[in-house]
Amino acid sequence: MAPAEKDLAALTTFHEPFPAEGSNPADVVAMLDEFGSPATVATTGGRYFGFVTGGALPAAVGANWLAGVWDQNASLRVMSPIAAELEDVILRWICEALGLPMECEGGLVTCATMANFTALATARCALLANAGWNVVDDGMFGAPPIEVVVGTEVHASILKALSMAGFGKKRLTIIEADSQGRMRAEKLPRLSKSAIVCIQAGSVNTGAFDPAEEICARAHEQGAWVHVDGAFGLWAGISPKFRHLTKGFASADSWATDAHKWPNVNYDSGLVLVRDGKALHASMGMSAAYLQGGTKREPMHHVPESPRRARGVEFWAALKSLGRTGLSDLIERTCAHAQTFAAGLRNAGFNVLNDVVINQVLVSFGPEEVTQEVIRCVQQDGTCWCGGTICQGRTAMRISVSSWVTNEEDVQHSLEAIIRIARECLAL
């Protein structure tokens, strides 16, 4: 799973002085393969359960190679018609598949962190525009205040995005969550005129979904903007079996998600969607005499970056190769594997801390030190890879089943290893 010590030590080979002379390109690539390949982590295998890491679908890998050779700048349509066209297709497909408003505009970014940032910066501009303030012209100096509401289990990337957009962590209104990390809608206070409420579709720890229907209704009554961090959970909306969990999220104003998580598109691949396309353009658009676009959607006006790789190529390839049924099967299969993990761990006498609603399992092996030791030994053993977390004060091992490759055999093999290691650690 993780590289061997000797392979990590060999990475010093790269730390040579900047070569005065060039090298043969084939030798350069051969060196990368010789010393680089052994120092990678096997995240594309079926037994990697760390973070929320999808594998890379074959069509996406092939498309990525092709896109690498094309080396397109997906800034303006004139620079890459294929990149711009595929973005149009992806945006339409995703809105359709996830039941989000078809009028949404959006953009392809590196990750959910950037998608959160793009949406929150847009919300800021739009709310301040409603208050008669132009952020683009006048900046934030002396701007009317914006209230930002998050739940106690908000993902760290929202906090980072908020701080990048000029909202301090100490200025947030934090709403209590229940035992699964769901924001308690009834605790939502009376909001100020300009407010952003950040809700979550899929907690990184428990996989739980905030009660979107109730929160959106209450927030909208008061004129607030609702942003959804749906880095992976939003994709549950494609499955008839899990769609109920995403109920109400379509009423929000903006959404952030990742293609490199559950849809198994290779890194880096995130997506932002905003109901009010004009607001997105107003906050992310830029103009220069030499950057003349056409009359159709221009990718660069919807994201923070201007020059950007054509990440829509592999995103499109993944969606095309899976289709609705394939993506829905992937979601349902990984959730079923999570249930198998949870049942196996419970049967072995261990404490599964969360209601396993989607593909995330949190397990405790007793005292904090024992759980930490089990995580360390599982990583060292190499049968599978799981990371750790602290959820509502409790230390846990996280099992996130996110890869298309994982099969029943991987799950059984990993379960056996985890249980064996946990018993050994407890016997010490």
Ligand X SMILES: Cc1ncc(COP(=O)(O)O)c(C=O)c1O
Beta bridge partners of 417: none
* Contact between 229 and ligand X per CB under 6 A: yes
Q: Which two tokens stand for residue 263?
A: 């849809």
Return the residues of window 44-103 that contact ligand X according to CB under 6 A: 51-52
Report helix, strand and coil shares of the chain as percent, to nearest 5.
45, 15, 40
> Which CB atom, from 151 or from 202, has the smaller least distance to ligand X?
202
Q: Which one, of 202, 203, 251, 253, lies nearest residue 226 by Cα?
A: 253
* Contact between 111 and ligand X per CB under 6 A: yes
Beta bridge partners of 360: 400
Beta bridge partners of 175: 151
> Which CB atom, from 315 or from 350, has the smaller least distance to ligand X?
315
Residue span binding ligand X (CB under 6 A) among the ranges 6-14, 59-67, 85-93, 107-115: 107-115
- The residue within the footprint of ligand X, chosen from 87, 153, 253, 258 (CB under 6 A), is 258
> Which CB atom, from 52 or from 419, has the smaller least distance to ligand X?
52
Residue span binding ligand X (CB under 6 A) among the ranges 86-94, 110-118, 247-255, 325-333: 110-118
> Which CB atom, from 83 or from 199, has the smaller least distance to ligand X?
199
In angstroms, give the least distance from the CB of 8 to ligand X.
Answer: 24
Residue 234 gets which letter from DSSP?
G
- The residue within the footprint of ligand X, chosen from 181, 202, 304, 312 (CB under 6 A), is 202
- The residue within the footprint of ligand X, chosen from 1, 215, 219, 231 (CB under 6 A), is 231
Beta bridge partners of 151: 175
> Which CB atom, from 135 or from 245, has the smaller least distance to ligand X?
245
- The residue within the footprint of ligand X, chosen from 76, 104, 108, 112 (CB under 6 A), is 112
With beta carbons less than 8 A apart as the criterion, state whether 59 and 318 touch.
yes
* Contact between 113 and ligand X per CB under 6 A: yes
* Contact between 210 and ligand X per CB under 6 A: no
- The residue within the footprint of ligand X, chosen from 50, 181, 270, 312 (CB under 6 A), is 270
Nearest 10 degrees: CA dihedral of 132, 134, 138, 144?
50
> Which CB atom, from 298 or from 314, has the smaller least distance to ligand X?
314
Residue span binding ligand X (CB under 6 A) among the ranges 74-82, 196-204, 206-214, 408-416: 196-204
In Å, how far from its chain's centre is CA 139?
Answer: 29
Question: How far apart, in Å, do the first and last CA atoms of the chain sit?
Answer: 25
> Which CB atom, from 109 or from 284, has the smaller least distance to ligand X?
109
In angstroms, give the least distance from the CB of 260 to ligand X.
Answer: 6
As a whole number of angstroms, the distance between CA 399 and CA 360 comes to 6
Q: Which two tokens stand for residue 42?
A: 């096997």
Residue 187 gets which letter from DSSP?
G
Which residues 6+ apart lie within 8 Å of 409 measured at CB? none
* Contact between 218 and ligand X per CB under 6 A: no
> Which CB atom, from 112 or from 330, has the smaller least distance to ligand X?
112
Q: Which two tokens stand for residue 179?
A: 């035992």
With beta carbons less than 8 A apart as the criterion, state whether 399 and 341 touch.
yes
Region label for 349, one of left (φ > 0), alpha (ψ between -120 and 50) or beta (otherwise) = left
Which residues 6+ apart lie within 8 Å of 161 measured at CB? 113, 114, 116, 117, 120
Return the residues of window 148-177 that contact ligand X according to CB under 6 A: 155, 157
- The residue within the footprint of ligand X, chosen from 57, 86, 196, 204 (CB under 6 A), is 204
Site track for ligand X across 331-370, x = CB under 6 A: ----------------------------------------
In the complex, the residues that contact ligand X under the rule CB under 6 A are 51-52, 111-113, 155, 157, 200, 202, 204, 229, 231-232, 258, 270
